[in-house]
Amino acid sequence: MKEPLHHYVRPGIVHFMAHPVIKGEGPIIESLTELVTDPFFEVIEISWIKDPAIRAEAKALLESSGVTVKYGAQPRLLTQGLDINSLEAATRQRAVDEMKAGLDEAAEMGITDFGLLSGKYPGEADAAAAMDALTTSMNEVCAYASDRGINVALEVFDRSIDKKCLVGPADSAREIAERVKATHPSFGLMVDLSHIPLLHESPAEALQPVKDHLVHIHIGNAYMDDQANPAYGDMHPRFGYPGGANDVPEIVSFLNELFKVGYLKSDGSSRGAVSFELKPVGSENPRSMIANGQRKLVEAWSQVTV
């Protein structure tokens, strides 16, 4: 592309992955300040903030920055081992109630986009029942969200390597989207470049079946070679990590496909949000890792051909 990246894309970053705040505690204000003062980013994705005073401070900081803020509830489910498509009704309801608490927090902060993930894939024998349970949960979550003026997106995760989620391969993502959108048309899907190799799919295989349901995009890396490596699985190591599945060529292919499916518009009429999901490995510096991601995206952008 000859035109600048920002003419077509609204770059963002997942705050709770880049910095150690995934449990709703830690250097929240300091790390948010670092991100919102970087003019490269137009979108910041936050998660729960347990301390009400810190939450109020974060809200003021984010409002003053002018960035678009989205809420990722994935940490609320993952760190507490909650399963929103559990076949045990009480277990499933605990996950739904936690999502309602997250929606209340998002509403308190004036956020109108809310992301989450499905629960565990239970095996083929129980997959249909789990999909029914997920449909019930998502309808309840979406109804609660709608009352608060919030849109809900389900993120697609791996099924067999790390998170081992029901959704899942592109066909499962399309199925849940079609089911939930029948009642809640604003519901959508979030696809992450990091998860595509974990699902053994190509960008086209991951995006084409769900092109009518895409509402948000993540980009990042994955590593699958050695289970003893700290980056193994869904750990989002930096682009260029030794043995990683994604680097500039994969970013180029992914961006090209995003244009083909219409998430990114070749006439620049609607700039889609594309957020980095990157996590330092070991003692890596978050600032260095983030700068690396920005350089890689800009390099890939120069090779986009659509």
Show me where the domains of the chain are located.
9-301
Tell me how far apart the terminal alpha carbons of the chain are, to the nearest angstrom: 8
| DSSP 8-state assignment for residue 165 | B
Q: What is the pLDDT of residue 2?
A: 77
Residues 6 or more apart whose CB falls under 8 angstroms from that of 281 comprise 230, 231, 235, 237, 238, 241
pLDDT band of 1, cuts 50, 70, 90: confident
**pLDDT 10s digits, 62-109:** 999 999 999 999 999 999 999 999 999 999 999 999 999 999 999 999
For residue 114, the SS3 value is strand
Full-model pTM: 0.96
Average pLDDT score over residue span 139-163: 98
Tokens read off for 202: 């190509």
Contact between residue 277 and residue 11 where contact means Cβ atoms under 8 Å apart: no
**pLDDT 10s digits, 107-128:** 999 999 999 999 999 999 999 9
Give the whole-angstrom CA distance, residue 61 versus residue 65.
6
Q: What is the pLDDT of residue 306?
A: 78
Q: What is the CATH number of domain 9-301?
A: 3.20.20.150
Give the whole-angstrom CA distance, residue 157 versus residue 120.
10
Residues 6 or more apart whose CB falls under 8 angstroms from that of 162 comprise 198, 232, 233, 234, 235
